[in-house]
Structure 1
């Protein structure tokens, strides 16, 4: 199944339902924070992700694991949502659902996500410079920065905002120079 098909069939309806619940209970920001915590947990523990996605692991075992790990760290409504995902055998899509929820939250608040790839970690001043540049380009209320480190770009940064990519990496400059010489 293609990613877009998974998105329209599984991820979007669950993320939309979560957003609807959050809006009706005035918990939009708290659920956003819960989603960020859950994504961090899944990133830190690939084993947890494998257990949750494994159809052989019993539903009761998955609920017990989630109960021990996250129940007291997230809102009770979010904990109930996770249990529904387990019951419906959709817990393996948790990361995608959380990412879709966060995207909907950014849209709701007028926040733009800028994915910044650099060869080394950016300083606070550099991050603020990127934030200001993206905010000027998009006229967004706010800019959220997601950073990645890729030593292969040699130097500079690659900024991706939606479908727009600004590649000011040294690797791209070398490639452009090579094309102009050829």
Structure 2
């Protein structure tokens, strides 16, 4: 009960802190695949006709190689109306690769010829009956030696799919699982900040080292209301006071 009370006491504080946060805006990338070679850039992930009718915008600005790949995959998947399917297929592949050290090493080994990587990924795609979008994307990733960062690409892609669905992920870290009533209150607090049209997707993590309270990661910000952090702040304050008295 005492532990639950300490967690609950952090929620009103979180509500106040979040309310005071200013909202920011993002500009969409004007170019797609700027770091790719010509052959990669001109390859179409979709197997249908050229994209002329429908212009798709990426909901979140992304940078770097993983962001570029994820953005291109998102556009192709939305155009083909297979966004959820592609995410599910890539998630299954990444999870399966974690169970196979041999395949993991294969994906990371750049000494393997591109033709060998492509053949292997095509065989896997055929056996798993992946969609054309997923198969073509993996082929491009294999050709470009990007299979080694597939998990990171999937993470960025999932950020885009969540934004597409109007979802915002929040991670709350506590010492013990958050009681249902407190979880509901936290989600409502975050939902109030987001406003209408957005949905909070809450993930709980357990970390006894924070001693109590809670840590919330939300919209690329961290709100640390843990007892561990408060204790460290108090220790620094006391040390500063002692040093001042000594001088």
Alignment-derived partner of residue 152 in structure 1: 209
CA distance in 1, matches of 2:126, 2:202: 26
Matches within 5 A, 1:72-87: 72=128, 74-87=130-143
Is it true that 1:104 corresponds to 2:160 in the alignment? Answer: yes
The gaps in structure 1 that reach 5 residues or longer are: none
Is it true that 1:142 corresponds to 2:215 in the alignment? Answer: no
Higher helix share: 1
CA distance in 2, matches of 1:169, 1:43: 32
The gaps in structure 2 that reach 5 residues or longer are: 1-34, 36-61, 240-247
* C-alpha contact 1:35 1:102 (8 A) present in aligned 2: no
- 1:65 Cα deviation after fit: 6.5
Change (3 A) 1:143 1:40: farther
* C-alpha contact 1:153 1:171 (8 A) present in aligned 2: yes
CA distance in 1, matches of 2:131, 2:117: 21
Give the alignment's TM-score, normalised by structure 2: 0.59
Is it true that 1:131 corresponds to 2:187 in the alignment? Answer: yes
Alignment-derived partner of residue 88 in structure 2: 33
CA distance in 2, matches of 1:67, 1:155: 50
CA distance in 1, matches of 2:186, 2:192: 10
Q: Of the two structures, which has the highest relative contact order with CA contacts closer than 8 Å and spacing of 6 or more?
A: 2
CA distance in 1, matches of 2:110, 2:206: 34
Give RMSD over aligned pairs: 3.1
Change (3 A) 1:66 1:93: farther
* C-alpha contact 2:97 2:104 (8 A) present in aligned 1: yes
- Aligned equivalent of 2:77, options 15, 19, 22: 22
